[in-house]
Structure 1
Amino acid sequence: MTDRVDILLYVALSEEAESVLEVLGDQFRPKELKDANLTVFFGTVCGPIPGRDFNVAMVAAGKMGNTHSATVVSLLIEKFKPADVVVVGIAGSLANDMEPGDVFIPDGINEYLANSAAHGEDGDWTFRISGNHFLTSRRLLNRFQNFAYTRTSQYQTWLNRTRELRSALISKTIETALVNAGLEMRGVCKLYAGDDLKLASGPAVGKGKAFMEWIKRDVDRKVAAMEMETAGVYDAALVQAPAPRTIAIRGISDYADARKENIEATASGMFRALSAKNAIALFVCAVKAGLFEVEDFSAENSSGSSHPDRVDSRATMVFVIGGETGETADIDAELPRLHSASIKLGGALARAGAQLVVCSPFPDSADYYAAMGYAGAEAGGVIHFHSPNHPRVEEKRQLFRKTFGQPNLTIQDWNYPVPEADEQASWSQAWLLAQLQALEKADVVLALGGKASKSASTLLHLAEAKGLPIIPFAFLGGAAGRTFQRRNWAQCNPGFDASILKSEGSVGQAVRIANHLVLDRVRRSKAGGDRPKTMFISVSRQDGAMGAALGDVLKSHGIEVVLGESEIVPDQLIPVTIEQALRRCDVVAVLWSRSYALSPWCYDELALALNLEALGEMKIWLFNLDDSSIVPSQARKLPAISARSEEGLRNAVKDLLS
């Protein structure tokens, strides 16, 4: 097979992997990765088009849990760049009509214990749930929901295969024993796909009725099954740009209550093997039927080459805030102007590859219309909704998904506590908490209007205090207008004509303006304000090509380049060698990525650089190569430039040095 990987299969435990590999066949061969403690099985599954096989990589992680799955999948996505990530394995049913041997594809994933809090004292306390929510790829889910009608022959092949597997694994003796134990089943495999049914993903194994009832009552009544890995997989895929499609195919091995142990005692693991094999058999038949084909939805709107005016965003997360002001001369025209500008702004951010951060899913805000424009651009990307976890809010978010959802658009929910009292003052505090958390994620803040007496004004003051790049479009007045007036543009951003922000036409230039302000923020970090003479490049081995591209452009500007690996000598400890190399440089260029985050040597270099930077002895230029989250807390405070390609990195450095 070629080095290309079309589909990444994630399997948690060796027991599941054994069943999966038995169905996939001997052509899947193991390969131990040199740069990770993992063994990946590579093979192909034929597609519906002759000569078009799908290259599949299957990893058996050998451990349960969302933390491990997120770590492994993040590494493998970075390494293989798959179009699809598929979780295959077993799960416990929380629905009486979903029985062992069935296969379940969830509409969404609820990481139910994430962001939770315990309230109370002594023996009187409560546990408040505020989980993370992830959606299965809408395109893949739709195809599986209609599999029986669109690809009837392959679907029937799968059903026949499940009957053969059941006959081979579940003997008449086991069937009789199940009936005698009060566990009579229909005996025919059924596919459950979507229909708003959720998969609970967390750190607990369900073995009791009380726990199952708590999940259904206090977490989500639409949870139909539970397991321990899928939330981590979906979360790892989410931060990619563009994000791979994600789907979970879970075989139902038992019920997540007391019946679990009864089934195990009676069938001795046979249903675990059956459910895993039914799940992977469905995957194979789906690939052969063409359900994993990838369409280029932008082809009909594209001439086949990049638009000459396209600008890539140098900011990863862009926070949009604002709303009506009541200050414009024509009050009746204010809202249409706000909505039009917000839609235009959202579209520009999507086309530039930025991720959009908003809070309110209600159509009386700039947030909602910016998200509408972002989705309407049909450019993929990620929208982050930071909101209180309340049914009224969730209803609006679900309506937004149904109305504006796109196959390659990820909508990520960030949930926060709801107010204890259903009154305006309490709700204002709940929304402010969500907005403050959103501000923590932002690389750039864009403001449109907003009442000067409301939270938009507070957020803009805080953004200024944090030193974040702020683009306050002033044509509607309000909080954005006041921020525009009080900023010393000549001092903060010399060379930038801020008067453009008074014009509605400036909204279409938002990305160019943001890029200018991001570079200005990094320029202010240059040692002594002068061009550096010597730069240390801190880069992971996997990103060596990006490091070489950076080195070439620095050398072309007469800057000496220092690489840690080239400084190592046999008669000195490596940490001492690296520190000496760092100390003789003016600037350290950190090329952050998921690979960087997994490298102990890179972490040591970054830690040394951060210590020297704190002492004022050097400066750090931070480039984010894959828009992944910056992990060290001290590094998160640094201005970062998003550089997703060698060309983007070269252009950013040339602009910094100009």
Structure 2
Amino acid sequence: MGLGADAAAGGVDVLIITALKEEYEAARAAGSAGYAGHPGVAAWEEHESESLLPFLVGTYVLADGRSMTVALARPTRMGATATAPVVSTLVERLRPRCLAMCGVCAGNPAHAALGDVVVAELAYAYDEGKRTEDGFEGDHRQIPAPEGWLRAAQDLGTSDLPSFGEASPHEARIWLMERLYAGEDPRRHPARSRFLSQASWTDQIQGLQADGLVARDGAALSLTDAGYALIEQLVYDDLDGPRELPFAVVVGPMASGNVVVKDGLTWSRLKQWGVRSVAGLEMESAVIAQVAHRLGLSDWVVAKGVMDHADPRKDDRYKQFAARSSAEVLFKLLGRRLASPQVVAESAALSRIRSVYVLGGVTGETTYPDYEQSQLAHVCEQLGQAVAKAGAELIVCSPFPDSADLHAVIGYVQSGAGRIVHLHSPRHPEVAERQTEMLAMLGSGHDTEIKNWYYPGPEDDDSREQAWLLCQIQAMEEADVVIAVGGRVSKTANTVLHLAEARRKPIVPFEFLGGASRRAYQRRDWTAVYPALEHRRLMDRDAVPDAMKIADQLVTARLRTPHNYRWPPRRVFISRARPDAAFAQALETYLSGAGITALVGEKELRPDRMVNPTIEDAVLSADLFVVLWSRSYALSRFCYDEIELALRRHAVGEIQLWIINLDGSDIVPPEARALPQALARTPHALVALVRELLEHAEPARTVPGGA
């Protein structure tokens, strides 16, 4: 089995759908060709060529060695009816991180030129509604594209793509004549600046006048009979359309309908029906958006090349170019979003942790006390970078320069991957002044959000330490993991670490600076509690960049604590919300392959029984209850009923319960908040976590009569 086959079995980064065979071939060729030094796909592997849903899988490689796995498929005919079942089936089967589509569309002549590529800002079916004797009343369900993809598309240049070419003076001349031939005003055309500069505009017109091809009457410019004859001949002889164009990416709404349009009237109708700035018109983008929304895919993108303007002049001359240019734009966009370090951080594929509390400071216990501050700053900046690149949020308390907190914030922000810093501090003028200075020092050229959480300030100088202790305790409570570097034993860090231990909070105590962190390290029987962890690395300052890998091991081990339940489990209940179906499907597939029966809500329903007792029987029959927590889960009454029943069984030792957080949202049921949880933002990460837990968890003792 090759690399592509492995990817198909375990999920892909992106599933690309095309509606037509020509679009499919253009996407396949664009993937193989790469661009601007990016190798692209070395070889496409065919899968299930004899089945009803064949598809290709390849690994798209970028110039710096990063890569993404790509699946490519198509229905047998265009349109929503043919596309929807293909997309739905393959998404559930291949479990892509992103659903994408490329191909051709009609472009609004007010916004897009022939050959431009429209990236959907939103997608909707424009012919949904009611037709009455007074006309059509639209009832549209618009689905917006993800914000990050829109920004990337707006910033995407095309000059390094194979289909891009600057217009020569001769090509600019023909372009100007063709606009007049089409009855368009070249001065107001969206592509005018790409073909004619201010300086060349006058030269071209004067040259065409001199050749007797155009006539000018004040502000009016028109073709002469000779000009008409020449441009008609050129258009007639241009069978295959352009090979290169100075095309651009246009980001705007995409409207889908069930008919091919060439009436020239639809653009004004779309405006009347509610979306004034529609840029593209085709038949399938709404399906892509709807399937992504229904199956809980956070990433989807549609890029389609403009082959005509949906008017009576509609022909296929630009079809080949539009299919090719849209595929090139799509692969470049996918490479930017799916293979970039920033997206790895956004997907949190490297970490199972939502938030990290960093605390510590100098200790005065080393043989170099005068240099401790310098070392603390260095290692804590490394620590902040590690937290950011793992996709976790950072929690700190002190904005003062002698703390571990400030330097962790600097590293977190300067990494370029930091998402949110939570700053827990008392209300006090001196603290506010330091916070203001810190924000000024960090500057505004970053995307990290700083959130302030304020607590009562000290009533006098003697109560300063108590005010800080309150902030630190609250920060510790909010974090999934505590990472400590140094910290004087006589200060609050020591108390906070004791409390974290009492709360069974995972702690990563780096020992090399001594202080409170060293005491926390020495109190733990690492070999007995975490036998798989190389705990002596916590004595090494060079291990700080790997702090999040160590933290992941501790978080996973909390879920893997010794237990008295049947082990290995024979029946696993997967509790999930409908939008998280892709996660549940991936987990169900893995469990079935491991010989474990997977029970999923509605699949257990029977026509002769009510819903609640059926679900209750399934939960009662399970050995393990896996909660796939998300915002959607928190909003579901049925999910809440399931977890309440499981929590009651867990409290009396009747069932093992794992909480796996899919999106980093807060746990709502009070009884569940204190239970261990781990983060898995992709189906791949979920399966890897459960596999690790099932393969390495060991029971504390055998249950009488159990397996």
Query: What residue is the counterpart of 1:419 in the other structure?
Result: 458
Query: What residue is the counterpart of 2:512 in the other structure?
Result: 475
Shift of 1:306: 6.8
Query: What residue is the counterpart of 1:618 in the other structure?
Result: 655
Task: Judge conservation of contact 2:510–2:518 (CA < 8 Å) in 1.
Answer: yes
Query: What residue is the counterpart of 2:147 in the other structure?
Result: 82
Query: What residue is the counterpart of 1:498 in the other structure?
Result: 535
Distance 1:54 1:336, change over 3 A: same
Find the aligned partners of 1:57 and 1:467 in 2 and give their Cα distance. Answer: 47
Question: Matches of residues 356-367 of structure 1 in structure 2 within 5 Å?
Answer: 356-367=394-405
Task: Judge conservation of contact 1:450–1:480 (CA < 8 Å) in 2.
Answer: yes
Task: Judge conservation of contact 2:565–2:653 (CA < 8 Å) in 1.
Answer: no
2:381 matches 1:315: no
1:601-630 residue CA offsets vs partner (Å, 9 max, x unmatched): 111111111111111111211111111111
Residue identity in the other structure for 2:451: Q
Distance 1:490 1:565, change over 3 A: same
2:625 matches 1:560: no
Shift of 1:48: 10
Query: What residue is the counterpart of 2:630 in the other structure?
Result: 593
Residue identity in the other structure for 1:55: E
Task: Judge conservation of contact 1:527–1:586 (CA < 8 Å) in 2.
Answer: no
Task: Judge conservation of contact 1:610–1:635 (CA < 8 Å) in 2.
Answer: yes
Task: Judge conservation of contact 1:473–1:501 (CA < 8 Å) in 2.
Answer: yes
Shift of 1:80: 6.1
Find the aligned partners of 1:335 and 1:429 in 2 and give their Cα distance. Answer: 24
Secondary structure of the residue that 2:565 maps to in structure 1?
A: helix
Question: Matches of residues 213-362 of structure 1 in structure 2 within 5 Å?
Answer: 312-362=350-400
Q: Which residue, 433, 436, 448 being the options, matches 1:395?
A: 433
Residue identity in the other structure for 1:636: R
Query: What residue is the counterpart of 1:538 in the other structure?
Result: 575
Secondary structure of the residue that 2:433 maps to in structure 1?
A: helix
Shift of 1:54: 6.5
Task: Judge conservation of contact 1:444–1:469 (CA < 8 Å) in 2.
Answer: yes
Task: Judge conservation of contact 2:121–2:144 (CA < 8 Å) in 1.
Answer: no
Shift of 1:380: 3.2
Residue identity in the other structure for 2:452: D
Distance 1:525 1:628, change over 3 A: farther
Secondary structure of the residue that 1:528 maps to in structure 2?
A: coil
Shift of 1:304: 10
Distance 1:392 1:298, change over 3 A: farther
Distance 1:629 1:527, change over 3 A: same
Find the aligned partners of 2:380 and 2:654 in 1 and give their Cα distance. Answer: 43
Residue identity in the other structure for 2:683: E
1:297-354 residue CA offsets vs partner (Å, 9 max, x unmatched): 999x9699979xx971111011111111110011122111111111101101101101
Shift of 1:483: 0.7
Secondary structure of the residue that 1:361 maps to in structure 2?
A: coil
Secondary structure of the residue that 2:434 maps to in structure 1?
A: helix
Query: What residue is the counterpart of 2:497 in the other structure?
Result: 460
Query: What residue is the counterpart of 1:383 in the other structure?
Result: 421
Shift of 1:526: 5.1
Find the aligned partners of 2:112 and 2:405 in 1 and give their Cα distance. Answer: 43
Distance 1:520 1:375, change over 3 A: same
Larger Rg: 2
Normalised by the size of structure 2, how large is the TM-score?
0.51
Normalised by the size of structure 1, how large is the TM-score?
0.55
Find the aligned partners of 2:355 and 2:540 in 1 and give their Cα distance. Answer: 24
Task: Judge conservation of contact 2:387–2:548 (CA < 8 Å) in 1.
Answer: yes
Distance 1:305 1:515, change over 3 A: closer
Shift of 1:81: 3.9
Shift of 1:79: 9.0
Distance 1:588 1:373, change over 3 A: same
Structure 2 unaligned blocks of 5 or more = 1-15, 18-107, 125-140, 151-297, 300-332, 696-707
Find the aligned partners of 1:330 and 1:548 in 2 and give their Cα distance. Answer: 56
Question: Matches of residues 55-70 of structure 1 in structure 2 within 5 Å?
Answer: 55=121
Secondary structure of the residue that 2:451 maps to in structure 1?
A: strand
Task: Judge conservation of contact 2:419–2:448 (CA < 8 Å) in 1.
Answer: yes
Residue identity in the other structure for 1:455: T
Task: Judge conservation of contact 1:527–1:618 (CA < 8 Å) in 2.
Answer: no
Pick which of 579-588 and 550-559 moved more: 550-559
Residue identity in the other structure for 2:147: P
Query: What residue is the counterpart of 2:468 in the other structure?
Result: 431
Q: Which residue, 584, 595, 599 being the options, matches 1:547?
A: 584
Query: What residue is the counterpart of 2:408 in the other structure?
Result: 370
Query: What residue is the counterpart of 2:676 in the other structure?
Result: 639
Shift of 1:541: 0.3
Find the aligned partners of 1:480 and 1:551 in 2 and give their Cα distance. Answer: 42
Query: What residue is the counterpart of 1:408 in the other structure?
Result: 447
Task: Judge conservation of contact 1:315–1:642 (CA < 8 Å) in 2.
Answer: yes
Distance 1:384 1:47, change over 3 A: farther
Find the aligned partners of 1:640 and 1:328 in 2 and give their Cα distance. Answer: 36
Find the aligned partners of 2:482 and 2:341 in 1 and give their Cα distance. Answer: 33
Secondary structure of the residue that 1:572 maps to in structure 2?
A: coil
Question: Matches of residues 166-177 of structure 1 in structure 2 within 5 Å?
Answer: none
1:231-289 residue CA offsets vs partner (Å, 9 max, x unmatched): xxxxxxxxxxx99xxxxxxxxxxxxxxxxxxxxxxxxxxxxxxxxxxxxxxxxxxxxxx
Instruction: Using the aligned pairs only, state the percent identity.
Output: 42
Shift of 1:432: 0.9
Task: Judge conservation of contact 1:523–1:529 (CA < 8 Å) in 2.
Answer: no
Query: What residue is the counterpart of 2:100 in the other structure?
Result: none
Find the aligned partners of 1:297 and 1:420 in 2 and give their Cα distance. Answer: 55
Secondary structure of the residue that 2:457 maps to in structure 1?
A: coil
Find the aligned partners of 2:615 and 2:597 in 1 and give their Cα distance. Answer: 16
Secondary structure of the residue that 2:147 maps to in structure 1?
A: coil
1:156-179 residue CA offsets vs partner (Å, 9 max, x unmatched): xxxxxxxxxxxxxxxxxxxxxxxx
Query: What residue is the counterpart of 2:68 in the other structure?
Result: none
Shift of 1:506: 1.4
Distance 1:350 1:306, change over 3 A: closer
Distance 1:78 1:329, change over 3 A: farther
Distance 1:454 1:577, change over 3 A: same
Distance 1:460 1:47, change over 3 A: farther
Shift of 1:52: 4.8
Find the aligned partners of 2:618 and 2:651 in 1 and give their Cα distance. Answer: 17
Secondary structure of the residue that 1:414 maps to in structure 2?
A: strand
Question: Matches of residues 9-28 of structure 1 in structure 2 within 5 Å?
Answer: none
Secondary structure of the residue that 2:625 maps to in structure 1?
A: strand
Structure 1 unaligned blocks of 5 or more = 4-43, 59-75, 86-241, 244-294
Matched residue count? 390
Question: Matches of residues 566-585 of structure 1 in structure 2 within 5 Å?
Answer: 566-585=603-622
Distance 1:355 1:527, change over 3 A: farther
Shift of 1:529: 7.8
Find the aligned partners of 2:365 and 2:143 in 1 and give their Cα distance. Answer: 49
Task: Judge conservation of contact 1:553–1:653 (CA < 8 Å) in 2.
Answer: no
Residue identity in the other structure for 1:378: G
Distance 1:319 1:79, change over 3 A: farther
Find the aligned partners of 1:432 and 1:57 in 2 and give their Cα distance. Answer: 51
Shift of 1:591: 0.5
Distance 1:580 1:80, change over 3 A: farther
